[in-house]
Structure 1
Amino acid sequence: MVAITEFQKIGVGLSGFGVFFVLFGVLLYFDSVLLAFGNILFLSGLAFIIGLRRIAHFFFQRQKLRGTTFFLGGVVLVLLRWPRIGMIVESYGFVLLFKSFFPMAFGFLGTVLNIPFLTAIFNKLSGSSSSMV
């Protein structure tokens, strides 16, 4: 069993509040203050969870520099009160950063949710060749 430190617990809380504020900001027609606050909370929570050295290593890998540029550029645009353009740029950067993670996540969702129709869709999205539907 992996021991979770107090900093990681604080990081999960900060990240959770960050996601909440970003979603709430989008629901309120891209309120720039809520989006900026959510971005700051999410990034600080991520730093608390995995640490500054690991977060720097993740974001500044050679193959992820384009995604990092778009993601952090979107955060800066949101902070400069251009929320719509910033969220579009940030979303594109998020997809570029985590595109290698999506097939694994879809495969996991396909196994957790044992609904035949959804399992077939998640298996197709994850690239899995198992036909156990």
Structure 2
Amino acid sequence: MIEISDTQKIGVGLAGFGMTFLFLGVLLLFDKGLLAIGNILFISGLSCIIGLQRTFFFFFQRHKVKASVAFFGGIVIVLLGWPMIGMVAEIYGFLLLFRGFLPAAVNFLRMVPVLGSLLNLPVIRGIVDRITGDNGRNMV
């Protein structure tokens, strides 16, 4: 079994709270305070989970510069007071950053009982496959 340090446990909690605040910020019509807190908690949680050096190297690899600029630019735009434009930039950067991980995550979610049934509906399946860049080659 993999050993998880206390710092990583705290990081999972911070990232979870960050995602919760981001969700609530979008749900409450792009409340910039909740979105800003969610962004800060998510980034600090990610740093605690994988470490500061690996986080820095993840975001600032040569082939991920465009994605990182979009993601962090979106955070700055949210902090400046334009939450809808900032969230669009963040989502674009997030999709570019985690492009390699998304097909595996979607395939895992398709195995979850209720969520898998929804993700396998014809219209939703086409949209999700287009977003992840997965055209059925990873299905078992």
Shorter-normalised TM-score: what interval? 0.7 to 0.9
Alignment of 1:1-133 (within 5 A): 1-113=1-113, 115=117, 118=120, 121=125, 125=129, 126-129=134-137
Q: What TM-score results when the alignment is normalised by the length of structure 1?
A: 0.86
Equivalent pairs: percent with the same residue? 51
Question: Is 2:107–2:139's contact at 8 Å kept on the other side of the alignment?
Answer: no
**Once the 2 structures are TM-superposed, how far is the Cα of residue 59 of structure 1 from its aligned partner?**
0.5
TM-score calculated relative to the size of structure 2 = 0.82
Larger Rg: 1
Equivalent-residue separation in structure 1 for 2:66 and 2:93 (angstroms):
7
* Unaligned segments of structure 1, at least 5 residues: none
1:12-53 Cα distance to aligned partner (Å, 9 max, x none): 110010000011011111110010000000000100000001
C-alpha distance in 2 between matches for 1:62 and 1:30: 32
The count of residues paired between Structure 1 and Structure 2 equals 131
Does the Cα contact within 8 Å between 2:31 and 2:83 map onto a contact in 1? yes
In 2: Cα distance, 1:53 partner to 1:129 partner = 34
**C-alpha contact (below 8 Å) 1:74/1:89 kept by paired residues:** yes
Q: Name the CA distance, whole Å, in 2 between partners of 1:2 and 1:91.
A: 31
Give the letter aligned to residue 136 of structure 2: S
Q: Which runs of 4+ in 1 moved over 6 A?
A: none
Assess if the C-alpha contact under 8 Å between 1:17 and 1:42 holds in 2.
Answer: yes
Secondary structure, counterpart of 1:94 in structure 2: helix
Cα distance in 2 for residues equivalent to 1:62 and 1:87? 23
- Contact kept, 8 Å, 1:67 with 1:92, in 2: the verdict is yes
Question: Residue 107 of structure 1 contacts residue 128 of structure 1 at CA under 8 Å; is this kept in 2?
Answer: no
Cα 1:81–1:4 change in 2 (3 A) is same
Q: Distance in 1 between matches of 2:54 and 2:137?
A: 33
